[in-house]
Structures are given as C-alpha cells and as structure tokens.
Chains A and B, each alone.
Chain A
Amino acid sequence: MSNTPLPDPVAIADGTFNCNAQLGTELFREDQMHAHAAAVSADKDARIKVLEEALWAADLAFAEHGILAVHATRMQVRAALGDKT
C-alpha cells in the first residue's frame, strides 16, 4: 500500500541475462530498491504523523475546553482523512 512510484528499471528481462527473472520483468539494482523502500517508509511516516496530529488536536481540545471544542478540530480531522470522509 503505497503511492510512491517505483524507480525506473535498469533493464527489462529479455532472456539475455538474469535467467531467474521472467521475461518482461523490470529489473532494479539493490540500491534502487533500497531507496524505494526508504521512500515508501518515509511516506508512511508522514501519513502517520498527520493522522496523529489530527487525533491529538481533537483530544487536546476536549481536555482543555470541553466537549464542544472538539468540533473546532473537524476541518483538521477531515483533512487528515482525505477523501475517505
């Protein structure tokens, strides 16, 4: 589950080498896949941070100003959830 695009493959398996790969398979170097995994992980960290901040804001509003203040964070909560709301 990630919107992070894959890197450009260094080659497409065409049977001339790397006989373990199926024909047509995109081939990547280890450093490319490592960078991709790091980018995916960073994207997910950022997503977690947005969600946590929205939840904290709602919780803080309740703790400091009571139940009605929770409604003030509605926009932030909607934004954090994106189009899923």
Chain B
Amino acid sequence: MSDIVERLREQAELVPAVPRAPWKAMAEAADEITRLRAQVAALEGDAGRYRWLREHSGEFQGPEIFVNGKYELGSDLDAAIDAAVNHPPQPAQPAPRTADCLMCGHCAAMSNTIPLPPIVERADEHYHGEGLADAVHAHAAAVSAAKDARIKVLEDALVEVLEFQSAPTQPTIHDWGCWRRVLHARAALGDKNG
C-alpha cells in the first residue's frame, strides 16, 4: 500500500478540471500532512536531544544541567523545567551593594575598605561572567584577611592595656611608660577615637 500522501495526490489528479471539489481538499490535505511530517521530524530531533541530556546527566563527564541555578539530574529534570516554564524567575531587583557584598544586600550592615574587584564594576548585570567566581573568592579572602589584621591590631592593643592594668595601682613612672604604649595602641582605633 502506498503512502497516504501519494494516494491523496493520485486521487486529486484524476479530476484536476473540477475546481472546489472534494478532490481539491484531498490535495490540500496531502500538503498539510507533508508539512506536519516535516514539523514532527524537527520536533523529534529536539526531543531526542533533550532525552539524551536527561538520560546522560550526572554521568561521568556527562552534561550538567542547572535550572534556575539549581543542579538537576534526569529524574527531576522534567519537573524542574516545567516549574521554570510555568513560574519563570522574576528579574532580579538591583540590591544595594557594599564593599563586602558583590551579589546581594544581605551584608549591607558590614563595611570594610577592600575595593570591589574590577570585573564586577564593569559588568553589574552579568554576575556569571568568566572568572567572576575567582574574583569574588579573592575579594572575600582579601576582606577576611583585612578583618583578621584589624582583630590582631586590636588584640595587641588590649594586651598592652591589660599589662598596664596589671601594674601597681599607685601610678609610677613605669605606669606612665605603659600608658604611652596604650596611647600608641589608640592609633589602632583610627579616627573613631579622635
């Protein structure tokens, strides 16, 4: 038995001189079936590629699929994609950024003097640019190291104070010498102690 499209066209060609007859609809149906077959073939290609991704995700050196920033494996992928399609993420609102915080406003209360990495300044809306993770990590490490240094200075200053406090209660020249060191330690407070 020949293909349905061929049979429809053969039937339609039997009476080509009769316009607007059922034969014309048969020719149109053959064209529509041909178009739909091409469309299905294209969709099957896409579907096959998706099934391959779903089946091979999580395998060694296989594809890694993230939906809305969350790593998804095969069995959960359908639901994750459906959820993302039905509830697309809202555009991120620009959050106030401090020197401590590159991506959100959660640390707005904190402060430090470490400048932001240049890559963030160049690409405010492209947080996932190449090398950004390294830049953010380096920035966090620099902030942390600066705070460690600040803590060390303050602890050293307070040890000086404690040594002074351990001196005899009656002020002596020795006490004043100790207090001079305390005065030096005041510099650790910067302009906050001015």
Which residue in chain A gives the minimum CB-CB distance to B159? A81
The digit string for A53-82, where 1 denotes a CB below 8 A from any CB of B, is 011101100100001101101100110110
How many angstroms between the C-alpha atoms of A48 and B58 in the bound complex? 44
> Inside 8 A of A42's CB, which chain B residues have their CB?
107, 109-110
Interface residue B59 (Cβ < 8 Å from any Cβ of A): yes
The number of chain A residues touching the other chain, given as a range, is 35 or more
Across the interface, B144 reaches (CB within 8 A) one of A17, A40, A59, A73, namely A40
Interface residue B133 (Cβ < 8 Å from any Cβ of A): yes
Determine if B151 and A51 form an interchain contact, defined as CB atoms under 8 angstroms apart.
Answer: yes
Chain A interface, DSSP helix/strand/loop, else mixed: helix
- B186–chain A nearest beta-carbon distance, Å: 6
The number of chain B residues touching the other chain, given as a range, is 35 or more
How many angstroms between the C-alpha atoms of A30 and B151 in the bound complex? 27
Determine if B193 and A56 form an interchain contact, defined as CB atoms under 8 angstroms apart.
Answer: yes
> Inside 8 A of A10's CB, which chain B residues have their CB?
71
Interface residue A38 (Cβ < 8 Å from any Cβ of B): yes
Determine if B161 and A31 form an interchain contact, defined as CB atoms under 8 angstroms apart.
Answer: no
- A83–chain B nearest beta-carbon distance, Å: 12
**A9-52: which have CB < 8 Å to B?**
10, 15-19, 29-31, 34-35, 37-38, 40-42, 44-45, 47-48, 51-52
How many angstroms between the C-alpha atoms of A60 and B171 in the bound complex? 18
Interface residue A85 (Cβ < 8 Å from any Cβ of B): yes
How many angstroms between the C-alpha atoms of A29 and B69 in the bound complex? 9
> Inside 8 A of A73's CB, which chain B residues have their CB?
161, 165
Stretch of B88-96, B98-106, B115-123 with 4 or more beta carbons under 8 angstroms from chain A: B98-106
The digit string for B155-194, where 1 denotes a CB below 8 A from any CB of A, is 1011101101100010100011001001001101100110
How many angstroms between the C-alpha atoms of A4 and B179 in the bound complex? 35
Across the interface, B60 reaches (CB within 8 A) one of A16, A40, A48, A67, namely A16
Which residue in chain B gives the minimum CB-CB distance to A18? B64
Query: What are 18 contact pairs spanning A and B, CB under 8 A?
Result: A1-B144, A17-B58, A17-B59, A34-B104, A35-B106, A37-B140, A38-B101, A38-B110, A45-B109, A48-B154, A52-B192, A55-B158, A59-B186, A62-B179, A70-B164, A78-B162, A81-B162, A84-B155
List 8 additional A-B contacts (Cβ < 8 Å) besides A29-B69, A59-B186, A70-B182.
A19-B61, A37-B144, A48-B150, A48-B151, A55-B158, A55-B185, A59-B182, A59-B189
Interface residues, chain A, CB within 8 Å of chain B?
Answer: 1-2, 10, 15-19, 29-31, 34-35, 37-38, 40-42, 44-45, 47-48, 51-52, 54-56, 58-59, 62, 67-68, 70-71, 73-74, 77-78, 80-81, 84-85
